[in-house]
Structure 1
Amino acid sequence: MEEAPALITRVLRKADIAVTECRSDKPENGISGSIPVEDAYLMGLQLRDYPEHDYWEGSRQHPRRDVKAGEILLYDLKRDPRFFINKPFHSIHFYLPRKALDAIADEAQAPRISELRYEPGVGMVDEVVRNLGTSLLAAFDRPEQVSRLFMDHVTFAIATHVTQTYGGLWSTPQRIKGGLAAWQERRACAMLEANLDGEVAIREVAAECGLSISHFSRAFRESTGMAPHQWLLHRRVESAKLLMHDRRLPLSEIALSSGFADQSHFTRVFSRLVGVSPGQWRRSREIETANEP
């Protein structure tokens, strides 16, 4: 599917993780082509039921199964996975190369895993992948409104979860408790605020604080009550509120100055976090100002 929308992130140094949305309402019947052999996995999150799923690894055909919406399937690209396509399908596929799995183990200071455990062609219920994966659906429709920080957060969380749950990753160091030190919080927030568009890599912010990505993410949430990308959204809104006091500035300009992709993105996020649209909020502030003695 050459035109399938894809998102690629490099949250881990020298290891790309790709996410692709695959959908066809009227597919041509036939066996899927072979994917180039490499030391990597695909994880498919099914978004619609696919009954009577015929699946092969190499020359071996596995028992036919029904795959339900919300289930995941794992494919080892060393084993030449193929399947018979004869009905509509819709799924999100995560490309997880060996480099990414190794980098996650190194990040956790844990032994590298060997293989991911799965039963060929059998769907599995995984609420973590389902919830995180479906949060990316809007990103395929409006990729210009998705920040690098958000993509880093979701793809790292999914890749780490898969490595732990299906690869048996275990960490030997004692988990560090507590939030960020005061200087770390100041530095992290300053970096995020200097990049309101979210185009700063989470590993860069973590490195500035002298922490691993996983430790930084946990400590930042402990200190601020929010994940980094959520904190950034709230900061964008606060920045927009300050600018909206200047009646000469149009909302479209305020949206861009506050790190939003466009006015519709600004309106959607602002309304969700504040409870009213930017225009309503601005008018209410103007009324309050006019009534001040």
Structure 2
Amino acid sequence: MRQYNPSQRILVTGGAGFLGSHLCERLIARGHDVLCVDNFFTGTKQNVAHLLGNPHFELMRHDVTFPLFVEVDQIYNLACPASPVHYQHDPVQTTKTSVHGAINMLGLAKRLGAKIFQASTSEVYGDPSVHPQPEAYWGHVNPIGLRSCYDEGKRCAETLFFDYHRQHQLQIKVARIFNTYGPRMHPNDGRVVSNFIVQALKGEDITIYGDGQQTRSFCYVSDLIDGILRLMATGADFTGPVNLGNPDEFTMRQLAELVIQITGSRSQLVFRPLPADDPRQRRPDIRLATDRLGWSPSVALRDGLQLTVAYFDRLLACASITPDEAHSG
């Protein structure tokens, strides 16, 4: 017999962002009432415009570095710029978003007795000396580099979550999210998938940093959201952190060549110096997610890229709308 699952009131911070908007959709489809909170620094109203008329959806402009007073049953904390271009734009604010945002959302969860999810990141592993990266690996992070505002901010947020769990018996769930891609990525966020696709569709040279042999693993957004929901549904005995990502590993050159093939572009590859502290390899060990969540990604890179290319193709095809204007909110 199917278990009865009553509707819940759910807060999603960063809900108008790439991942947050997909999460809001899935939660509403499950019959929940969703309060989407975003300050629209990287998130956009366009990402959730199709939900605005839904009676189960509410949108609020708010910055999580300030306290929020609402009544909800669950909290998903996704608020934080996640691409180097955006999180390095105002590094102090990035750290504040991770740390003060976590404090404010944990305080809210404590007051309400609500279960709370933290969107952590594979960046907590830094430039790893262990490959692939298991959850037990403590990382290799530069605490004073250009990426530190994000890397160390997320590490501190994890510390806060586990201290609230130990000190206040708060129900927490922490996921370390690896590279994720799909529709609604910002076209100018500096991430490799969006960069390569936009450059290929415009017929521009595709920029590869380094020699192109550094590796990443790419998880399609629908797979990632499924993993998040499975984690949130686990019992109080399982907190994480748990890696969520696709364990298939590709070099930057392989990704660029696949994008060129899918788009039919005549773009050429050009190589530039590798940015400081850029990891040489990144691949999740997902055995814990498979064992405890019954989760593993199912969308192959080629299939996911085809869907993502179609999204960017439609975006760029709007003759009177530039990518910046389309995402200006």
Q: TM-score, normalised by structure 1?
A: 0.25
| Structure possessing the higher relative contact order (Cα contacts under 8 Å, 6 or more residues apart) | 2
Between structures 1 and 2, the one with greater strand share:
1
Q: TM-score, normalised by structure 2?
A: 0.23
Greater C-alpha Rg = 1
